[in-house]
Amino acid sequence: MAAQLLDGKALSQQVEMELKVRVDALLKQGQVPGLCVILVGEDPASQLYVGNKEKACNRLGINSRTIRMPADSTQEQLDEEIKKVNADPSIHGLLVQFPLPAHLNASRAQTLILPEKDADGLHDINTGKMMRGETAPIACTPKGALYMLKSANIPIEGKHAVVVGRSSIVGRPMAMLLLRENATVTICHSRTRNLGDYTRQADILVAAIGKPGFITADMVKEGATVIDVGMNRVDGKFCGDVDFDAVKEKAAYITPVPGGVGRMTVAMLMSNTVEAAEKAFAG
* By the rule CB under 6 A, 165 interacts with ligand NDP: yes
Kindly state whether residue 173 participates in binding ligand NDP, applying the rule CB under 6 A. no
Handedness of CA 254, 14, 166, 99 (dihedral sign): positive
CA within 13 Å, CB half, 91: 24
Among 26, 82, 164, 178, binds ligand NDP (CB under 6 A): 164
- Integer CA distances (angstroms), 265 to 12, 51, 100, 218, 271, in order: 9, 14, 19, 28, 10
Eight-class DSSP state of 118 = B
Residue nearest to ligand NDP (CB): 167
| DSSP conformational letter for 139 | -
195 binds ligand NDP (CB under 6 A): yes
Check if 120 is active-site: yes
**Rounded least distance, CB 29 to ligand NDP, Å:** 32
The set of residues, in sequence order, having a beta carbon less than 8 Å from that of 159 and lying 6+ positions away, is 183, 184, 203, 204
Strands 225-228 and 253-254: parallel
Catalytic, 53? Answer yes
Q: How far is the CB of 239 from ligand NDP (least distance, A)?
A: 9
> Shortest distance, CB of residue 34 to ligand NDP, whole angstroms?
22
Count residues near ligand NDP (CB under 6 A).
25
Catalytic, 9? Answer no
Closer to ligand NDP by CB, 27 or 195: give it.
Answer: 195
CA 106 to chain centre: 17
Nearer to ligand NDP, 83 or 189 (CB): 189
Which of the following is catalytic: 97, 110, 221, 228? 97
**Strands lying side by side in the sheet with 184-188:** 4-5, 253-254, 225-228, 204-207, 160-164, 184-188
User: Could you list the residues that contact ligand NDP (CB under 6 A)?
Assistant: 141, 164-167, 169-171, 188-192, 195, 208-211, 229-232, 261-262, 265
Query: Would you name the residues annotated as active-site residues?
Result: 53, 97, 120
